[in-house]
Amino acid sequence: MDRGFRLVGVDYPDRARGNAMAEYVHGYLRLRLVWEGEARALWVESARQEGAEVVSRWSDAEWILAGDRQQLDQDLSDGRIERLATAALTFLDRQGRKS
C-alpha cells in the first residue's frame, strides 16, 4: 500500500501513556498513523504540505470520508486493521482525483 509514500519519522510523544505516531509523505500529502495508548485506538490522519512544512490541520481520514466526526473506534481486531487500510486507500484514491 505504499503508493509512493516514504516514512519520514516515528515519534513517541507520550511514552508513559504508550502513544506513538509514524509519519509518511508523498508529494503535497502527509499521512500519520496514530496509536493512542491510553484509549487503545489506532487511526490515520492527513495533512497538506508545501515544501517540507505542514500547512493544514491534521484531519482523521475516516472522518473526512464520512463527512463528519465519528466515534473513536477501539476495536483491535484484524477487522479494524482491514477497515483502516480500506479507508486509507479510499481517501488516497479521492485525493488523487483532486490533484
pLDDT per position as a tens digit, 49-97 = 998 889 999 999 999 999 999 999 999 999 999 999 999 999 999 987 6
Q: Which residue has the higher pLDDT, 29 or 1?
A: 29
Read off the pLDDT band of 2 (50, 70, 90): low
Hey, which bits of the chain come out as E strands?
A: 6-11, 20-26, 29-36, 41-50, 53-54, 59-60
Per-residue CA distances from 80 to 17, 45, 49, 86, 95 (Å): 21, 16, 28, 10, 22
Supply the pTM of this predicted model.
0.84
